[in-house]
Amino acid sequence: NAISTGTSNMAKQFGTPAASLATLRSMNAALAGRLTKATDRNIGVAALKKDIHSGNAIDSILALTNMLLRFGLHVKGGVVRDYVVRGHAPASTPDIDLECPSHSVMTQSNLASVAAKWQAQLTKDLGLSSTSPQLGPGGDMLRFDVNVPGAGNVELEIVLPWNSRYLPVQNMDFSCNNLRLEPGAPVGELRQTFPIMMKAEEIVAQLLKHPKPHASPTRDCVWTKGGCDGANNNMTLDGTTGQMKGRIAKFRAKGFHFVEAPHVGGPGGTRVTLWHGTSASAAAAIVAGGFKVSTGGNLGSGVYMSRDMRIVKQFAAYYALNSAIVCGDVDTGKVITMQGFDSSGSWRNGGYDTAFL
């Protein structure tokens, strides 16, 4: 959530949420080639099988990704980050993070048969063997291993449609993990799991940095002066929760360099599109005459909006059938990221225009 003396907060990032193949080709031709291998449904099964058994880990994983998209699964996380974007095969055996969308044909009653169908197709079309599917605690995650030549036993971890514990706003840690491939998207299009106020191509540009790929934290962190982190190599990043401390340590070990996200990068600010849930009559008044600054709130007086559409809808739900959601382009100005409430609004004393919480 956020507050500003103008209209502020994170909900939908500035610019397009996806990057097209043409845009990405202009950045890196090899990346465009990998994206085509991973997403083009016109590639024949025989060609996919040839790549699977080539002994090249990257080609094998790209071919497997292509087949998983044909199953209707969303592919995200480390495989997109490393194999697709960076063209890098880590020393450790990869796992593939997947989501089965809510509009899919999979239900709790046909879960076993659908999983068996996927495994049979992997065997028939690609010559791959796999282990028996296992449900995770709570019955909302499905896992099984696929033996991929050149890559090893690759674990497929699938978030099932009825999983209510996986919330991107709470689970997303770094910009580099926010990219995803979706079935039905144009060939080579990179999308994002959650709006983090960065364009997809900005995340790609971070990942293509040398000698170390860059990543921006998205939550539960604090920057302090001194150290080797940050865009100017003069800050230190630390987590404010045990979980985020662990994630930061893990990605340091992977060789990532942490940099500030664009929306906290300086006094120039960033123009973004933001959302506000209210009544239909208030929405009409806002459109006609602009927002009225509140007299108070968790971050003091100002205009409140949210990056989390669940929160926006909760506020709109107060008005039942008379509800509305307003969106608008916002120049955030100088931004501060808060670690807690400040109802006095004293955060403005530092010359900030917008506070994110």
Q: Could you report the per-residue pLDDT of 299-347, keeping only the tens digit for each?
A: 999 999 876 666 788 888 888 888 888 877 677 777 787 878 899 999 9
| pLDDT, position 16 | 46
The C-alpha atoms of residue 120 and residue 313 are separated, in whole angstroms, by 42
pLDDT in tens, 49-68: 999 999 999 999 999 999 99
CA torsion through residues 221, 225, 227, 229, sign:
positive
Given a cut of 50, is residue 2 above it in pLDDT? Answer: no
Within 8 A by CB and 6+ apart from 236, the residues are: 223, 224, 225, 226, 227, 228, 229
Q: Yes or no: say if 293 and 284 are a contact pair by the CB < 8 Å rule.
A: no
Calculate what percentage of the chain has a pLDDT beyond 90.
Answer: 57
Cα–Cα dist 336/325, whole Å:
25
Query: Cα 170–172–178 angle (5° rounding)?
Result: 150
DSSP one-letter string for 80-116: IIIIIII----SSPPEEEEE--TTSS--TTTHHHHHH
Q: Which of 332, 329, 323 minimizes the C-alpha distance to 290? A: 329
Domain boundaries along the sequence of the chain? 11-209, 256-356
pLDDT tens digits for range 127-172: 999 999 999 888 889 999 999 998 999 999 999 988 877 765 567 8
pLDDT digits (tens, 9 = 90+) for 209-223: 999 999 999 877 888
Under DSSP, the state recorded for 166 is: -
Give the model confidence (pLDDT) of 246-271 as tens digits: 999 999 999 999 998 765 443 444 55
Name the 3-class secondary structure at 26. Answer: helix
Is-contact 83 62, C-beta < 8 A? yes
Residue 53: Cβ within 10 Å count = 17
Distance between CA 196 and CA 261 in Å, rounded? Answer: 9
DSSP state of 132: P
Q: Which two tokens stand for residue 31?
A: 């990346």
pLDDT of amino acid 13: 33
- Spelled out in words, what is the top-level CATH class assigned to the domain 256-356? alpha beta
3-class SS of residue 37: helix
Cα separation, 158 vs 153, in Å, equals 16
Q: Quick one: pLDDT at residue 36?
A: 98
